[in-house]
């Protein structure tokens, strides 16, 4: 069968990926993990085409025309919470277009109650419940009980559960199909890079995070090695490790680090600050990691506790200092606008950040993602003003118990300016650039971040 893996068009540089859609805060864009992880499985017995309409800047009409010329039997497409209504409208038009094809979706807006969602949206044929499930490929082969898939079968909607096995295997991803020249990663040390996964979901239980509800599964180590070997053959060493909390499964992570070292990779990873036992940060650096994206989230101990982060300010400080001592660049992630936030708590987080002095900060607005406790809370308290949402803060979707959504957008923009426009900051960053590409990335991303927050 001809299958298209589709990232549909968007008016903005939109990242639809890993149940966490957002607009790009600068100009970065990378291969969507959902489609990448299905590519190995689906290409075994099908003809596969990857179409990233965001990277190619295709209009809906151009994208529909292109799809029409391919005549696929099935489209596996992404859907986002940022442009939910526009995405739905696009798929409605695709269903109505001449020719016949099945449309399956992956994304956070269809996760919460897939069967009900399908009954309300008859132009969609099915939902892939986890992007590491094997169900899509099993469905195409005609298996009756495809794993982790909800779909129409005659007049009925059927749903088959996701696997709870601790390990998954989806085959070597077709990385060569995901090398769009428009993909760009701000923290990469080289222009060419690959999105890469060694696990799925997260074992921690932070109450604002969709990952906590996905379960945690490790990727088969032989499969990881096969893909690293293939990337090496393609001449790609630079990785954006999309694992949501690298180090969460210590033995698995150690094995992965030895593979990265063996293949001489250079990479960026998401790491919790309390991961620092047993010289973890040093080992991470030695395995090729150059940049750690560390979840700080808030400087308020009350908020850290309320959202079950599992660490407090002291562990954050210690983790960031250890990461820096190991020679890693540190990107701290912060969430502005959780229900408990006041102007004072946000200011105190900013003060904490200045003391910690990470290399970069990623400021996010709190958003009520599907499957999270935060979503239940904000709906119950009437704090959700818009269920379309963008954590990058291009528009507000939540108010707090004390601040409006527009105050939150302004406070977030001010925080960005205060951090990045500190005297000497830009000069010190430029002085640390180790190559012409790093210098270029720094200037390109820096200008873009500031233009979105002035
Ligand atoms: S550790 Fe990170 S990825 Fe895991 S649940 Fe918490 S915020 Fe989400």
Averaged pLDDT for residues 255-281: 93
Residue 272 in contact with ligand 1 by CB distance below 6 A: yes
Averaged pLDDT for residues 66-93: 96
Q: Which among 245, 282, 244, 290 is positioned nearest to 441, based on CA atoms?
A: 290
Atom of ligand 1 nearest to the CA of 244: 3
Candidate of 18, 199, 211, 271 to mutate for ligand 1, largest count of ligand atoms within 8 Å of Cβ: 211
Q: What are the beta bridge partners of residue 104? A: 76, 126
The pLDDT assigned to 38 comes to 98
Cα(343) to centroid(ligand 1), Å = 25
Residue 269 in contact with ligand 1 by CB distance below 6 A: no
The pLDDT assigned to 431 comes to 80
Averaged pLDDT for residues 80-108: 95
Cβ atoms of 370 and 431 closer than 8 Å: no
Band of pLDDT at residue 452, cut at 50, 70 and 90:
low
Atom of ligand 1 nearest to the CA of 210: 8
The pLDDT assigned to 425 comes to 80
Query: Domains in the chain, please, with CATH?
Result: 2-160 (3.40.50.280), 185-451 (3.20.20.70)
Band of pLDDT at residue 30, cut at 50, 70 and 90:
very high
For a pLDDT cut of 70, what percent of the chain falls above it?
Answer: 98
Q: Give the distance from CA 329 to its chain's centroid.
A: 20
Is residue 451 over pLDDT 90? no
* Residue pLDDT, tens place only, 358-413: 999 999 999 999 899 999 999 999 998 887 887 777 788 889 999 999 999 899 88
Is residue 15 over pLDDT 80? yes
Backbone angles phi, psi at 312, to 5 degrees: -120, -175
Per-residue H/E/C for the chain: CEEEEEECCCCCCEECCCCCCEECCCCCECCCHHHHHHHHHHHCCCEEEEEECCCCCCCHHHHHHHHHHHCCCEEEEECCCCCHHHHHHHHHHHHHCCCCCEEEEECHHHCCCHHHHHHHCCCCCEEECCCCCCHHHHHHCCCCCCCCEEEEECCEEEEECCCCCCEECCCCCCHHHHCCCCCECCCCCCCCCEEECCEEECCCCCCCCHHHHCCEEEECHHHHHHHHHHHHHHCCCEEEECCCCCCCCHHHHHHHHHHHHHCCCEEEEEECHHHCCCCHHHHHHHCCEEEEEEEEECCCHHHHHHCCCCCCHHHHHHHHHHHHHCCCEEEEEEEECCCCCCHHHHHHHHHHHHHHCCCEEEEEECCCCCCCHHHHHHHHCCCECCCCCCCCCCCCCECCCCCCHHHHHHHHHHHHHHHHCCCCHHHHHHHHCCCHHHHHHHHHHHHHHHHCCC
The pLDDT assigned to 64 comes to 97
Band of pLDDT at residue 181, cut at 50, 70 and 90:
very high
Cα(308) to centroid(ligand 1), Å = 10
Q: Which among 285, 296, 355, 361 is positioned nearest to 323, based on CA atoms?
A: 285
Nearest CA owner, ligand 1 atom 1: 204
Cα(327) to centroid(ligand 1), Å = 24
Cα(309) to centroid(ligand 1), Å = 8
Residue 295 in contact with ligand 1 by CB distance below 6 A: yes
Cα(210) to centroid(ligand 1), Å = 8
Averaged pLDDT for residues 38-65: 97
With a CB cutoff of 8 Å and minimum separation 6, the contacts of 408 are 336, 337, 341, 365, 396, 398, 399, 400
Residue 202 in contact with ligand 1 by CB distance below 6 A: yes
Residue 245 in contact with ligand 1 by CB distance below 6 A: yes
Cα(192) to centroid(ligand 1), Å = 28
Is residue 453 over pLDDT 70? no
Candidate of 215, 272, 316, 319 to mutate for ligand 1, largest count of ligand atoms within 8 Å of Cβ: 272
The pLDDT assigned to 278 comes to 66
The rounded distance, in Å, linking the Cα atoms of 265 and 258 is 10
Is residue 100 over pLDDT 70? yes
Nearest CA owner, ligand 1 atom 3: 244
The pLDDT assigned to 449 comes to 67
The structure's pTM equals 0.93
With a CB cutoff of 8 Å and minimum separation 6, the contacts of 142 are none
Atom of ligand 1 nearest to the CA of 209: 8
Q: pLDDT averaged over the chain?
A: 93
């Amino acid at each position: 069968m001809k299958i298209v893996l589709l990232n549909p068009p968007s008016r903005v540089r939109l990242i639809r990926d890993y149940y966490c859609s957002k607009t790009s805060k600068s100009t970065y864009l990378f291969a969507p993990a959902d489609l990448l992880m299905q590519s190995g499985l689906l290409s075994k017995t099908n003809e596969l085409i990857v179409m990233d309409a965001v990277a190619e800047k295709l209009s809906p009409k151009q994208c529909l025309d292109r799809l029409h010329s391919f005549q696929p039997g099935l489209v596996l497409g992404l859907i986002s919470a940022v442009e939910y209504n526009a995405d739905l409208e696009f798929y409605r038009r695709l269903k109505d277009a001449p020719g016949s094809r099945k449309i399956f979706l992956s994304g956070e807006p269809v996760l919460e109650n897939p069967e009900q969602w399908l009954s309300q949206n008859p132009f969609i044929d099915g939902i892939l419940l986890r992007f590491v499930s094997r169900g899509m490929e099993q469905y195409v082969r005609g298996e009756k009980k495809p794993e982790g898939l909800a779909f129409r079968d005659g007049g009925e909607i059927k749903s088959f559960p996701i696997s709870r096995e601790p390990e998954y295997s989806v085959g070597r991803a077709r990385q060569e199909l995901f090398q769009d020249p428009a993909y760009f990663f701000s923290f990469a040390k080289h222009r060419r890079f690959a999105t890469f996964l060694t696990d799925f979901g997260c074992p921690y239980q932070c109450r604002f995070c969709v990952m906590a509800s996905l379960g945690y599964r490790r990727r088969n180590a032989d499969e990881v090695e096969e893909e690293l070997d293939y990337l090496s053959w393609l001449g790609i060493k630079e990785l954006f490790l999309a694992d949501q909390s690298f180090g969460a499964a210590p033995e698995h992570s150690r094995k992965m680090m030895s593979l990265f070292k063996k293949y001489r990779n250079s990479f960026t990873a998401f790491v919790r600050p309390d991961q620092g036992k047993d010289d973890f940060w040093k080992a991470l650096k030695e395995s090729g990691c150059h940049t750690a994206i560390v979840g700080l989230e808030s400087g308020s101990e009350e908020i850290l506790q309320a959202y079950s982060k599992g660490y407090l300010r002291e562990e954050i400080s210690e983790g960031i200092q250890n990461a820096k001592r190991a020679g890693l660049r540190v990107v701290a992630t912060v969430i502005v606008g959780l229900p408990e936030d006041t102007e004072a708590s946000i200011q105190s987080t900013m003060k904490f950040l200045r003391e910690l002095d990470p290399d970069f900060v990623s400021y996010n607005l709190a958003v009520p993602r599907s499957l999270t406790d935060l979503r239940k809370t904000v709906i119950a308290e009437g704090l959700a003003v818009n269920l379309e949402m963008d954590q990058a803060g291009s528009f507000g979707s939540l108010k707090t118990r004390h601040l409006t959504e527009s105050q939150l957008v302004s406070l977030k923009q001010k925080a960005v300016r205060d951090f990045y426009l500190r005297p000497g900051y830009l000069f010190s960053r430029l002085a640390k650039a180790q190559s012409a590409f790093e210098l270029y990335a720094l200037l390109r991303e820096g200008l873009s971040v500031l233009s979105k927050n002035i």
